[in-house]
Amino acid sequence: MMDYEFKVKTANERTKVEDLFDYEGCKVGRGTYGHVYKARRKDGPDMNREFALKQIEGTGLSMSACREIALLRELKHPNVINLIRVFLSHNDRKVWLLFDYAEHDLWHIIKFHRAAKANKKPVMVPKAMVKSLLYQILDGIHYLHSNWVLHRDLKPANILVMGEGSERGRVKIADMGFARLFNAPLKPLADLDPVVVTFWYRAPELLLGARHYTKAIDIWAIGCIFAELLTSEPIFHCRQEDIKTSNPYHHDQLDRIFNVMGFPLEKDWEDIRKMPEHPTLLKDFKRSNYSNCSLVKYMDRHKIKPDTRAFNLLQKLLLMDPNKRITSEQAMQDGYFKEEPLPTQDVFSGCTIPYPKREFITDEDQEDKSDTNKARQNQANNGGQGGQSADSHGHNHGHGSNAKRVRLTAPPHPNNGAGMVQQQPPEFHHVTQQGMIYTSQANTQQGNFSQRF
């Protein structure tokens, strides 16, 4: 009896989310994991600070939630989302996770640019922004891999970007629900979860049933994201009607990869014969059907030439053989990051952010969206990007010869000789596809990023 009374007393004294934060009517995300709310403290010194409250679906702690909490409590890096606190509600057995609030993500950023293309006003993600985004993604993943963690679900929706504030323009890798430790090489990771990573970003070895996969699966996903930033279109989009299948083999996804990359040759990927689904691959596909397909041709259609450093790095990230795929550390040392413009800590380069803020959603909105899922999947085949959840996703237009390039100097990043540079107040120049130069004095007023569009 005393134990019960003590339990009730402790529960009543436990800090409650609703007592500390205002979040009602501020839902910004909904997915299989639960709900995400934009929240502010009701009182205290940081009342103006914005937080993200993630309510885990169901009661108690799922294995996915336990995994995410356990990892995030240990992982601390500028490019990995920071778990501030965990709340356990005794009355309804709900679990809440408190994070810093990120106003943007790559899914919405790319959607913004893809919509411009659809309206016949093509506006690509700025060259400098692509480079800064990619560098920070690699930096965060290098940290995870150095700590024996595979993310396993990298996609644009899980790459957050901070809005206005002290960490403006900083990339945050989020959603560690599928993350795994890989420090036990004799234990097949496929035994833990046979299917990982959203199909469009899934490495070919996973699609062929690999059981002992490596951190190279994250590198492939980063390559997919890089290509999407360069073109505003998902590079390996395909139909996803059977997205929830437990079978790792996916014919349509492999077909899409081969239509872009070409059919893999055994001389280029010797271990392909060891893949569990290799017999099925030989039965379902004819190499001759893809003889005219290559990454060079695909990217050339998007005005990305094979002699650019961007293409060279992309090719290393998207090698079919996982053993030959570049590592995150090697990628950060690539010459792409050592040529102007250098990557910056603020991916928006100190300019006004043109992307809209997250909208609050209601349960009715979610019902409406579920009714249009099939329509979005059909649109995906025409360049759309269906199949994404709200988890919280340019042309090679270089600077003209007359454009002044500004190198922002700062101490080099410890992981890269090229380094990410601190944002400073010199002039910022950007050349649009039409070759018009917009100039702003950052020391007198903030650059107008939206002018570039």
User: Is 54 known to sit in a ligand binding site?
Assistant: yes
Contacts 24+ apart (CB under 8 A), 119-124: 122/395, 122/433, 123/394, 123/452, 123/453, 124/230, 124/231, 124/232, 124/394, 124/395, 124/397, 124/433
CA–CA gap between residue 350 and residue 328 (Å, rounded) = 26
How far, in Å, CA of 134 to CA of 153, rounded?
16
Q: Active-site residue 307, yes or no?
A: no
Residue of 100, 105, 153, 334 marked catalytic? 153
Tokens 């430790």 -> residue: 181
Token pair 């590079």 in the structure block, residue: 235
Paired residues of 50 in beta bridges = 40
Q: Which residues are annotated as a binding site?
A: 54
- Which residue positions form the known binding site for ATP? 54
Catalytic residue list: 153
